[in-house]
């Protein structure tokens, strides 16, 4: 998932230092262009023309450019090529010392701001320079507001509304369709007026309708893809006829064609050439339903003639409603509830016959509004291990996953710890520590809808983390193993972080045991403690003590004292690498359960572990091996 949305990408370097920086980026489908003098360096391509002419040659075929040059030089190179921010490629500039990554052009619509953040993370220690006014106000750009949800940009004065937001003026938001999740993380003071007042200096319409622009204030239109078009047609109806019928219906009812989510019909029309060609030309999903499903849908205009011909009294209306209300139960293909909400049907069936050249047939069109918008892409779940909680201890890949995600889900404390990685416009949901299953289910729900979702765990997500629970939930839902896609980003585990703070206690065989009996019976935990103690494993104890679970750590200590010397070294590491870190070196006998809480990892040494100064050492056996 790393930076694939910006490919093909051209990177430009003119010095060995710049080449080295660009070679360190994890970018798919990237070409690093260098002058002929440096063409011998690995992984580069040479340009023989002037750099100005070479950039001009690449301008129309590449989605993004990364220059490791002086900003002024880049401005002079691209100035003659710039036309419109909605079509120009993204341009990012990296200074040759790797300290700054500047989003220069197409920051919003082209994703330059996001690309700058991702590259800065990959370089490590670099500062992304984002100069857009929306970023300074911690707001999502008005021209990219609906992109995560698959909304289509309609007509409007986008520059005027953006300028009004930058000036801090009231912006009326009239939203009659689409997700409202974009509102959840707006700063406390923001310009959006959801009540719509006479003081508004700009307007944003989020609607499936073609909104009327105001003659006095700047107005823009976002169109969530919520409209499902039900089609019934005679065999052989042409694509032109279907297209014209839909256009006429939408014009008559004031609907925006950009708001079309997809086309729906009866299954016997799955191979109808005109319908298939129309969907392919618009890149629209094509849903079909059996007559048995369609005849269960209550419609305002049933037809006995249609029922005799195809086995259901309605095709267009029933198919539109069936697709729009997402009523299908995946287990048997039948609606969960009989639909009686005729208000969802925006357009009752309309029958069209046109005397068009090279066209034949008849088309019936109905339009229903869906419960939620169609995003138009497969989502994915990014299972992220954030490590011990300090960003410097989090892998660059994991940081990029968080920054690039449409939605971030995690326990509130973890969300706070990664706050510098979050960006305006992201969906961020924090659920309590006891709601792990709800977090997993929410992540799956958003990913199945089409969002890229980062589910955060402390330490490593696959060790007492969320990764296993998410996969279990997917399996229970009949997941095909492919959609949504899963990607796992490992992190430094709590036991690794704790061990690193006290020395080398894990140099020999070790194990980890959680003392929480919420998911594992206490009798089973005691058996595992006994086995670890008997086997002389260095042992890391997770979840050692909580406010309501106070006895288990003392019992664990007593089990180990049956098999270990009372002077066995023990380390108590609380909040490793965080600002409130606490480290205590003690012994098994002197281990006081009262000094431990849920943020503490307990490391119990084996019979060879020893303390040396402030360090805890478990010999691996190299010295003895070398004496043979």
CA separation for the pair 451, 625 (Å, rounded): 54
pLDDT at 357: 63
Domain CATH number, residue 256: 3.30.420.180
CA separation for the pair 287, 296 (Å, rounded): 17
Asked whether residue 99 falls in the same domain as residue 181, the answer is: no
The token pair at 288 is 């079909």
CA separation for the pair 442, 449 (Å, rounded): 11
Assign 335 a pLDDT band (cuts: 50, 70, 90).
Answer: very low
Compute CA distances 346 → 136, 294, 338, 366, whole Å: 40, 18, 18, 8
**What tens digit of pLDDT does each residue of 83-104 get?**
988 789 999 999 999 999 999 9
Nearest to 7, CA basis, from 58, 87, 65, 69: 65
Query: Quick check: helix, strand or coil at residue 275?
Result: helix
**What tens digit of pLDDT does each residue of 21-30 get?**
998 887 767 8
Q: In the chain, what is the straight-line distance between the N-terminal and C-terminal CA atoms, in Å?
A: 51
Q: Which of 441, 472, 492 is the last residue of a domain?
A: 492
The token pair at 461 is 């997500």
**What tens digit of pLDDT does each residue of 574-587 get?**
999 999 999 999 99
CA separation for the pair 300, 342 (Å, rounded): 7
E strand or H helix that includes residue 173: strand 171-175
Assign 221 a pLDDT band (cuts: 50, 70, 90).
Answer: very high
**What tens digit of pLDDT does each residue of 167-220 get?**
989 999 999 999 999 999 899 889 999 987 777 899 999 999 998 777 789 999
pLDDT at 332: 39
Domain CATH number, residue 199: 3.40.1390
Asked whether residue 520 falls in the same domain as residue 469, the answer is: no
Give the dihedral sign, CA 82/85/87/93.
positive
pLDDT at 624: 61
Asked whether residue 527 falls in the same domain as residue 582, the answer is: yes
Assign 3 a pLDDT band (cuts: 50, 70, 90).
Answer: low
Mean pLDDT of the chain: 90
Asked, for residue 137, whether it belongs to a domain, the answer is no
The full DSSP string for 193-226 is ETT--TT-SEEEEESSB-PPPPSSS-EEEEE-S-
CA separation for the pair 315, 322 (Å, rounded): 10
pLDDT at 293: 94
Q: Give the global pTM.
A: 0.85
Asked whether residue 505 falls in the same domain as residue 597, the answer is: yes
Asked whether residue 360 falls in the same domain as residue 434, the answer is: no
- Residues linked to residue 232 through DSSP beta bridges, in sequence order: 364
Asked whether residue 363 falls in the same domain as residue 236, the answer is: yes
User: What does DSSP say about strands 600-604 and 569-574: parallel, antiparallel, or unpaired?
Assistant: antiparallel
The token pair at 515 is 């003392």
CA separation for the pair 335, 285 (Å, rounded): 20
Domain CATH number, residue 588: 3.30.950.10
Dihedrals φ, ψ of 579, to 5°?
Answer: -65, -30
Asked whether residue 514 falls in the same domain as residue 470, the answer is: no
**What tens digit of pLDDT does each residue of 539-550 get?**
999 999 988 888
**What tens digit of pLDDT does each residue of 484-501 get?**
999 999 999 999 999 999
Mean pLDDT for 394-422 is: 93
Assign 50 a pLDDT band (cuts: 50, 70, 90).
Answer: very high
CA separation for the pair 227, 351 (Å, rounded): 18
Number of domains in the chain: 5
Dihedrals φ, ψ of 443, to 5°?
Answer: -60, -45
Structural domain range at position 44: 4-131
pLDDT at 358 over 70: no
Mean pLDDT for 601-619 is: 95
Contacts of 259 (CB under 8 A, 6+ apart): 152, 177, 207, 208, 209, 223, 224, 225, 226, 227
Asked whether residue 484 falls in the same domain as residue 539, the answer is: no
Query: Quick check: helix, strand or coil at residue 384?
Result: strand
Asked, for residue 139, whether it belongs to a domain, the answer is no
Q: Calculate the CA 559 to chain-centre distance.
A: 45
Asked, for residue 141, whether it belongs to a domain, the answer is no
Asked whether residue 552 falls in the same domain as residue 474, the answer is: no
**What tens digit of pLDDT does each residue of 121-148 get?**
888 778 999 988 777 788 888 988 999 9
Query: Quick check: 172 and 203 in contact, CB under 8 A?
Result: yes
The token pair at 555 is 């019992």
Higher pLDDT, 414 or 122: 414
Asked whether residue 402 falls in the same domain as residue 438, the answer is: yes
Asked, for residue 258, whether it belongs to a domain, the answer is yes
CB-count exposure of residue 590 (10 Å: 0-12, 13-18, 19+): exposed
Contacts of 495 (CB under 8 A, 6+ apart): 506, 510, 512, 540, 542, 601, 603
CA separation for the pair 12, 58 (Å, rounded): 11
Q: Calculate the CA 377 to chain-centre distance.
A: 12
Asked whether residue 279 falls in the same domain as residue 343, the answer is: yes
Ramachandran class of 322: left when φ > 0, alpha when ψ lies in -120 to 50, beta otherwise = alpha
Assign 476 a pLDDT band (cuts: 50, 70, 90).
Answer: very high
Domain CATH number, residue 49: 3.40.50.11220
Mean pLDDT for 242-253 is: 95
The full DSSP string for 316-383 is HHHHHHHHHTT-B-TTTSSBSS----GGGEEEEEEEE----TT----EEEEEEE-SS----S--EEEE
Asked, for residue 375, whether it belongs to a domain, the answer is no
Angle between the 51-58 and 71-78 helix axes, to the nearest 10 degrees? Answer: 60
pLDDT at 286 over 90: yes
**What tens digit of pLDDT does each residue of 73-83 get?**
999 999 999 99
Angle between the 112-123 and 396-404 helix axes, to the nearest 10 degrees? Answer: 170
Asked, for residue 136, whether it belongs to a domain, the answer is no
pLDDT at 73: 94
CA separation for the pair 415, 605 (Å, rounded): 33
Asked, for residue 374, whether it belongs to a domain, the answer is no
Asked whether residue 270 falls in the same domain as residue 341, the answer is: yes
Q: Which of 223, 252, 268 is the last residue of a domain?
A: 223
pLDDT at 330: 36
Q: Which of 458, 492, 526 is the last residue of a domain?
A: 492
CA separation for the pair 236, 353 (Å, rounded): 13
User: CB 214: neighbour CB atoms within 10 A?
Assistant: 13
Asked, for residue 589, whether it belongs to a domain, the answer is yes
Percent of the chain with pLDDT over 90: 73
């Amino acid at each position: 998932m790393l930076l694939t949305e910006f490919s093909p990408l051209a990177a430009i370097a003119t010095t060995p230092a710049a080449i080295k920086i660009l070679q360190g980026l994890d970018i798919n489908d990237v070409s690093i262009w260098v002058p002929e003098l440096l063409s011998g360096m690995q992984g580069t391509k040479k340009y023989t023309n002037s750099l100005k002419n070479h950039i001009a040659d690449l301008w129309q075929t590449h989605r993004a450019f990364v220059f490791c040059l002086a900003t002024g030089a880049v401005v002079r190179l691209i100035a003659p090529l710039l036309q419109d921010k909605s079509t120009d490629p993204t341009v990012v500039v990296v200074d040759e010392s790797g300290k700054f990554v500047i989003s220069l052009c197409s920051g919003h619509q082209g994703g330059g701001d996001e690309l700058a953040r991702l590259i800065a993370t990959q370089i490590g220690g670099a500062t992304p320079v984002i100069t857009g006014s929306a970023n300074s106000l911690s707001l999502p750009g008005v021209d990219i507001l609906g992109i995560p949800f698959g909304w289509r940009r309609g007509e409007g004065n986008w520059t005027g509304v953006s300028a009004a937001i930058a000036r801090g003026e009231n912006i009326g938001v009239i939203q009659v369709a689409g997700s409202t999740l974009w509102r959840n993380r707006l700063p406390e003071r923001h310009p959006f007026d959801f009540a719509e007042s006479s003081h508004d200096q700009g307007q944003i319409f989020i609607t499936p309708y073609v909104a009327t622009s105001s003659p006095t204030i700047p107005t823009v239109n976002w169109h969530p893809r919520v409209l499902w078009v039900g089609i019934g047609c005679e065999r052989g109806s042409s694509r032109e006829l279907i297209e014209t019928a839909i256009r006429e219906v939408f014009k008559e009812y004031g609907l925006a064609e950009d708001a079309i989510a997809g086309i729906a019909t009866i299954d016997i029309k799955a191979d109808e050439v005109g319908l298939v060609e129309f969907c392919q030309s618009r890149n629209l999903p094509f849903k079909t339903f059996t007559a048995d499903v369609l005849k269960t849908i209550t419609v305002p205009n049933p037809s006995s003639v249609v029922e005799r011909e195809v086995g259901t009294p309605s095709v267009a209306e029933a198919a539109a409603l069936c697709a729009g209300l997402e009523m299908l139960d995946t287990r048997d293909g039948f609606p969960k509830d009989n639909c009686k909400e005729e208000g969802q049907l925006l357009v009752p069936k309309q029958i069209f016959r046109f005397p068009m050249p090279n066209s034949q047939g008849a088309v019936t069109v109905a339009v229903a509004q869906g419960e939620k918008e169609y995003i138009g892409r497969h989502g994915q779940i990014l299972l992220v291990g954030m490590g011990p909680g300090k960003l410097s201890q989090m892998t660059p890949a994991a940081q990029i996953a968080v920054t690039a995600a449409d939605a971030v889900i995690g326990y509130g404390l973890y969300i706070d710890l990664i706050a510098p990685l979050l960006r305006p416009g992201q969906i961020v949901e924090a659920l309590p520590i006891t709601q792990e299953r709800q977090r997993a289910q929410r992540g799956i729900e958003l990913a199945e809808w089409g969002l890229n979702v980062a589910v955060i765990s402390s330490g490593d997500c696959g060790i007492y983390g969320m990764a296993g629970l998410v996969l279990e939930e997917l399996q229970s839902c009949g997941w095909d193993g492919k959609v949504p896609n899963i990607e796992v980003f490992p992190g430094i585990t709590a036991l690794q972080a704790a061990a690193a703070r006290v020395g080398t206690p894990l140099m020999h065989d070790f194990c980890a045991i959680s003392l929480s009996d919420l998911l594992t019976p206490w009798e089973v935990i005691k058996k595992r403690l006994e086995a670890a103690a008997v086997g002389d494993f260095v042992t890391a104890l997770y979840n050692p003590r909580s406010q309501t679970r106070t006895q288990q750590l003392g019992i664990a200590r007593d089990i180990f004292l049956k098999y270990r010397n009372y002077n066995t070294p023990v380390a108590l590491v609380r909040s490793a690498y965080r600002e409130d870190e606490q480290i205590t070196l003690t012994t098994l006998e002197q281990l006081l359960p009262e000094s431990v809480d849920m943020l503490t990892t307990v490391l119990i040494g084996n019979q060879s572990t020893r303390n040396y100064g402030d360090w805890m050492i478990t010999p691996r056996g190299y010295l003895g091996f070398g004496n043979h």
